[in-house]
Chain A
Amino acid sequence: MSLPARTSPLSDAQAAHAARWIDLEGMRSVAVFEREPAAALDIVAIGDLSYRRRVGVKGPSAAAALAGLGLATPAKPNSWCRTEDAIVARLGITEYLIEDSAGGETVAKVLALPAAAGVYPVPRFDAELVVAGPQAVDLFRQTCAVDISTLDAAGGALALTSMVGVGVTVAAVMTPAGVTYRIWCDGTYGGYLWETLCEVAEDMGGGAIGYEAVARVVR
């Protein structure tokens, strides 16, 4: 029996507003929302990247295990770096998050790591949001107590903080469209986070965007 379809942690929150769906790496995702603001990306737009495959690794030998796979890890906690087809984020002294870019295979390699002392795999099925647009910082200012504008996109800084009361990890990512923000949170809080951020964004004139629009700002 083959694996069934994956379900996005945001699926329940998005289903009623979806105009068209798309399959992304085995996960049904929204391609276009019904009332997607045309100018959302010019104001503030929120998209869903939960389809990306990711895994965590923690433990005193985690960095060495990743290095054994040829994966560079950030030198400092609370930072991230990009490899050929993945993001490697260092969430603590000995804890890492690895996320594949579209079509990446790094996560599969990490999952295949043999059991070893001091290397503890962490299954992760986060909700992942991307916030883009010139007023993205203002959206954070209404929802997060950390000054996200100081996150150094070029330097790969991460913030482990809370937004609207939900524990999140935020990375600033430089894209051709400007700085975008990636937000990871526990999938069970994802629906609430999505709905709340969309509500704030709509107040600002922006709103949710489907994958077709997301793809223009995320690589």
Chain B
Amino acid sequence: MSRLPQRPDEWIDRSRQVRFRFEGRDYVGFAGDAVSSALWASGVRTLGRSFKYHRPRGILSMANHDVNVLVQDGQRLNVRGDVVPVREGMDLTAVNTWGGLAKDRVRFLDRLSAFLPVGFYYKAFYSKRWFPTWERMFRAITGLGRIDAATPHIYTHKRYDFCDVLVIGGGVAGLSAALSAADAGASVVLVDENARVGGSGMYQLGGDTAQREAVRGLIARARGHKNIRVFESTLAAAWYADQWVPLVDADKLTKMRARATVMASGAFEQPTVFRNNDLPGVMLGSAMQRLIHRYAVQPARRVVVTAANADGYRVALDLIDAGVQVLAVADLRDTLPSCPAVEKVRARGVECLPGTGIYEAHADGSGEVTAVTLCKVREGVADTSTARRLDCDGVAMSTGWAPAANLLYQAGTKMRFDERLQQFVPDVLPEGVFACGRVNGVFALDSKQADGARAGALAAAHVLGTALEVDPVLPGGEAPSHPWPVVKHPSGKNFVDFDEDLQVKDFENAVQEGYDNIELLKRFTTVGMGPSQGKHSNMTALRILARLVGKSPQQVGTTTARPFFHPVPMSHLAGRGFNPHRRSPLHGRHAALGAVFMPAGAWERPEYYAVPSKSRIDSIHDEVRRVRTKVAVIDVGTLGKIEIRGPQAAEFLNRVYTARIDLLKVGGTRYGISCDETGVLTDEGVIARLADNVYYFTTTTSGAALVYREMSRLNSEWRLECGIINLTGAYSSVNLAGPDCRKVLGPICDADLSPEAFPYLAVREGKVAGIPARMMRVGFVGEWGYEIHVPAEYGPALWDALMQAGEPYGIGPFGVEAQRLLRLEKGHLIVSQDTDGLTHPFEVSMDWAVKLDKPFFVGQRSLKILKQMPLKRKLAGFKLPAGYSGQVPQECHLVIVNGEIAGRVTSIYWSPNLGHHIGLAFLPPDMTAPGTAFQIRVTDGSMVSAEVCETPFFDPQDLRQKEQA
């Protein structure tokens, strides 16, 4: 056990023991322990295996910046041991092993590493035939956890939240920024991914208790401030335009909308690169400090520190305070600066060695660190004649940092590489985005406070609209990062990216092969593409590339930090889904009649009404038969319904539709089509003139919203004196059709339904069952019929009245499928089914509906040009031979002529009234003469013969619309 006596501000609750299992053995930790700290306190130092070579791994960052410790917790995969609290009863196994962590059967891969360089799979496993085999093998070897298909769906909420200033990062700079902004009157949300705010101010102490007191004061003030909400254990995972930031916590995803963002996200400590720098026991200096101060765990007993900044000396001091023997501080810098931290370490009797680095770490039989070899190092090259071995069980790496600038990049910040700091820092920040603290190149405690206060004040001023000018806080004198924290070794295993087992030589090989810019290098080596997303590797990789190609880090640049920059559970992304759908006022009536619903745009429409003991198609044919022989009713309330009123309503519609709407008489209707500027057919409907200045018209179901929006846009340009009113949801509509429809409607309607008083294509206003109604005599399905429109709140009453009045005549409902079949029998096209995004009216024989001699309408100029050009295709009716019993073509099946695609089927049904299949298809114009035979290729590749025929297929003289029929 290496648990230390109680530490001030430790995160563990020693009064609550937690029992758990790891790799089949029982352990005990404390509430508040992370999985890694509890295991480390129990003396377990090998906590995982690496992804590629299956090397033993221990704690590296203790901060979610690496994935050395990935474990499976029952059905939960890839649990990050460094940050996930240990829970009573957890049964954990390390991922990525075959046969357990200790006896991983593929650990031999480490010895084959010379044969598995970066990119080896691109070169070795490219065979198309064998690739699936290799892929399966690699997936099996390298899998990160095992998925249990029985895992229950975890329900996570999504929510929105709002604040004036969002401060990302709860360290000293972030706390100062939050307080500054809140004091100025802004509402502030402070988020930190750690379980507690305070940041490095609470663990990178270097024995300075005054620092801890100062940070405690900041935390207390922030928690008590009425304008500040503190979100802990919450990750700001991305930054989107307009200051949208997704915040991820254990239970949910919050979409935070801020008016200003302060990035106080700090910096990631970077590993020093030397041979065997990944052995368990070798960890970042900050990881050792986290273990000591957060979890009261002694990281090791005898430690060598490799340093290149004052932080390394503070690590040494904290280790000494924790009872650790610090054997030496090997400083990569040629000379040691004169600073208090160095002097304090020296005063504690620790050997401080300038110009010295770790040449190699040595492992014991279990693969854990047992010694290091120190050498004099210059420019990354070790003088092995100075080699000196020190036995130790721990190595602290503290040679530099990389800014946690992912969100700054996503926000569009221009970053520059500061040579003195050896760090990228914000150069030009986007409006409303501010940076402070380490991510801004400011590392000293006092400076971070000042920088945070500056950024917070600026953010508040931005939000509150006040003018404020504040001088920038200058970074301290010391470079916090070493320009070349790399020590070469002829035997390699000096790791840069711990996720992907990438060594220095991998980068050298990649550059040699021509992958010599940062984007190519990333893709070839996969550096930064693992679960850590380059937090501990990208900066060093960039330095290596810069040196290999003779450029500066500024010239090499950085890769894109895409949102989310840190992995989050899929359940958080899924959450509760919102899929709005519309229901007609008659929905309940349809459901009661056994409707089978289908989506139609946003609507749920009855596809057909299921009849017990009958198949779908038989049910549909029953509905068709009822329309043709008796009377039936369909809900057409999903059609777009728009009213235009005003003295220039006719002029407006004349400009929108291709027909002469101004000539339409009051009380009449007209079929109309509209086009876009290119002449493409966009929508169709029936236009009714209710009064001189009042028109009411329908659009297609799917086109309603678009048509209304486009009309509103057009009139904002034309400024005609008329009002456009969208009544789609306000009116309920049905189509009553069939030979007996007049008998049904007559008794409950106050309008004269005689053909003289109410002829075909007339519109009348009256009452049906006492309900004020607009009635149009139209015949989309080819029967005598009335489209009846009533206020939506009376839709069900109208339906009930019609069903009751029609009962003696065998009335019934019909659905979308029957309607489509019936209209096809009449040869009527459906816009967007029988047309596409290029179809113009002449291709579908609608020349009659286009009045090119009008002064203007949308698309007129294009249609005039198209009219002069030969058609490339034409929609034509076709039929299959009577009695055809082979595979039936389907919509979108291709027409093949001489082995080439010549057209396609747009609609096809078997007509119970005609006794054979009928359809519409786009064909070459010279093939549209009735009687022309052509071939349709069906799904299995076979050809089906069809013959062009005249439309309408059924009742070509439209006799059924007339009295004598």
Tell me the B681-736 residues at the A interface (CB within 8 Å): 691, 693, 721, 723, 725, 727-731
Q: Is B5 an interface residue (CB 8 A)?
A: no
Q: Bound complex: CA of A144 vs CA of B161, how far in Å?
A: 10
Checking A6, A58, A140 against B723 with a beta-carbon cut-off of 8 angstroms, the contacting residue is A58
A54–chain B nearest beta-carbon distance, Å: 11
Q: Which residues of A contact B162 (CB under 8 A)?
A: 147, 149-150
* Chain B proximity mask over A1-33: 1 for CB below 8 Å, otherwise 0: 111111111011001000000000001000000
Interface string of A147-166 (1 = CB under 8 A from B): 10110000000000000111
Verify A122–B725 contact, CB threshold 8 A. yes
> What is the distance, in angstroms, from A50's C-beta to the closest C-beta of chain B?
8
A146 shortest CB reach to chain B, Å: 8
Bound together, the chains give a CA A141 to CA B637 distance in angstroms of 33
The stretch among B72-80, B355-363, B573-581 that forms the contact with chain A is: B573-581
Chain B nearest CB: distance from A25 CB in Å?
A: 11
| Stretch from B96-104, B268-276, B583-591 forming part of the interface with A | B583-591
User: Which of A3, A141, A150 meets B161, CB within 8 Å?
Assistant: A141
Tell me, yes or no, whether A186 is within 8 Å of chain B by CB. yes
B108 to chain A, nearest CB (A): 51
Pair B581/A15 contact, Cβ less than 8 Å = no
CB of A123 within 8 A of chain B?
Answer: yes
> Are A187 and B585 within 8 A (Cβ)?
yes
Q: Does B645 contact A (CB under 8 A)?
A: yes
A124 within 8 Å of B (CB atoms): yes
Whether A123 lies near B727 (C-beta < 8 A) is yes
Across the interface, do B792 and A141 meet the contact criterion of CB distance under 8 Å? no
Count chain B residues whose beta carbon lies closer than 8 angstroms to a beta carbon of A. Answer: 48
Within 8 A of B (CB), among A38-83: 58-59
What is the predominant secondary structure among interface residues of chain A facing chain B? mixed
A4-B771, A165-B580 in contact; A117/B721 too (CB < 8 A)? yes
CB contacts (< 8 Å) of A165 on chain B: these are 578-580
> Roughly how many angstroms separate A12 CA and B791 CA in the complex, as a whole number?
17
Least Cβ–Cβ distance between B415 and chain A, in angstroms = 30
- Check A189 against B580 for contact (C-beta < 8 Å): yes
B767 to A1, Cβ gap below 8 A? Answer: yes
Nearest CB in chain A: distance from B120 CB, A: 48
A residues near B257, Cβ cutoff 8 Å: 145, 147
CB-CB nearest in chain A for B767: A1
Using an 8 Å CB-CB cutoff, how does the interface string of B614-641 with A read, 1 for contact, 0 for none? 0000000000000000000000010000
Is the Cβ of B723 less than 8 Å from the Cβ of A120? yes
Determine the main DSSP class of B at the interface with A: mixed
The answer to whether A27 touches B793 (Cβ under 8 A) is yes
A-contacting 9-mer, from B16-24, B167-175, B505-513, B795-803:
B795-803
Flag if B771 contacts A142 (CB, 8 Å). no
Task: Enumerate chain A residues within 8 angstroms of B157, measured Cβ to Cβ.
Answer: 142, 203
CA distance A192 to B578 in the complex (A): 10
The reply to whether the CB of A37 lies closer than 8 angstroms to some CB of chain B is no
**Closest B residue, CB atoms, query A167:** B580
Q: Are B721 and A125 in contact (CB under 8 A)?
A: no
Confirm or deny: A118 has a beta carbon within 8 angstroms of a beta carbon on chain B: yes
B495 contacts A by Cβ under 8 Å: no
List, in ascending order, chain B residues with CB within 8 A of A15's CB: 588
Q: Using Cβ atoms and an 8 Å threshold, which residues of chain B touch A142?
A: 157-160, 576
Is A4 in contact with B801, judged by CB distance below 8 angstroms?
yes
Q: Which residues of A contact B729 (CB under 8 A)?
A: 125, 186-189
Whether a CB of chain A sits under 8 angstroms from the CB of B397 is no
**Is B255 part of the binding interface, using a Cβ–Cβ cutoff of 8 Å?**
yes
Asked if A5 and B797 make an inter-chain contact with CB atoms under 8 angstroms apart, the answer reads yes
B881 within 8 Å of A (CB atoms): no
Q: B585 — which chain A residues lie within 8 A by C-beta?
A: 7, 9, 187-188
B341: chain A residues within 8 A (beta carbon): none
> Is A191 an interface position by the 8 A CB rule?
yes
Q: Tell me if B794 counts as interface (CB < 8 A to partner A).
A: yes
- Cβ-based interface call for B769 (8 A): yes
Across-interface contacts of A203 in B (CB, < 8 A): 157
- A120 with B725: CB separation less than 8 A: yes
Say whether B793 contacts A125, CB under 8 Å.
Answer: yes
Give chain B nearest CB distance to A112 CB in angstroms.
Answer: 14
Q: How far is the CB of B132 from chain A (nearest CB, A)?
A: 41
A209 to chain B, nearest CB (A): 21
> What chain A residues lie within 8 Å of B731 (beta carbons)?
123
Q: Chain A, 81-115, contact with B by CB distance < 8 Å: what is the 0/1 string?
A: 00000000000000000000000000000000001
A124's contact among B159, B728, B730, B797, by CB below 8 Å, is which? Answer: B730
- Cβ of A196 under 8 Å from chain B: yes
In whole angstroms, how far apart are the Cα atoms of A200 and B730 in the complex?
27
Q: Are B794 and A7 in contact (CB under 8 A)?
A: yes
B582 CB-CB contact with A under 8 Å: yes
List the A side residues contacting B160 at CB < 8 Å.
140-142, 144-145, 147
A125 to B730, alpha carbons, bound, how many Å? 5
Taking CB atoms and an 8 Å cut-off, the chain B residues in 330-352 that contact chain A are none
Q: Quote the shortest CB–CB distance from B339 to chain A (angstroms).
A: 48
Nearest-neighbour CB distance to chain B for A195, whole angstroms, equals 10
Query: Is the beta-carbon distance between B587 and A12 smaller than 8 angstroms?
Result: yes
Closest to B584 in A: A188
> Complex: how many Å from CA A160 to CA B786?
37
Extra pairs beyond A187-B793, A188-B792, A192-B580 (9, CB < 8 Å): A8-B793, A12-B591, A117-B646, A118-B646, A125-B730, A138-B159, A142-B576, A149-B162, A165-B579
A interface residue numbers (CB < 8 A to B): 1-9, 11-12, 15, 27, 58-59, 115, 117-118, 120-125, 138, 140-145, 147, 149-150, 164-166, 186-189, 191-193, 196, 200, 203
16 contacts between A and B (CB under 8 A): A1-B769, A4-B794, A4-B801, A5-B797, A7-B797, A8-B793, A12-B583, A58-B723, A117-B646, A123-B731, A145-B257, A150-B162, A166-B580, A187-B729, A187-B792, A191-B587
Task: For the complex of A and B, list the 5 residue pairs with the smallest distance between their C-beta atoms, beginning with the closest.
Answer: A120-B723, A1-B770, A12-B588, A4-B797, A186-B729
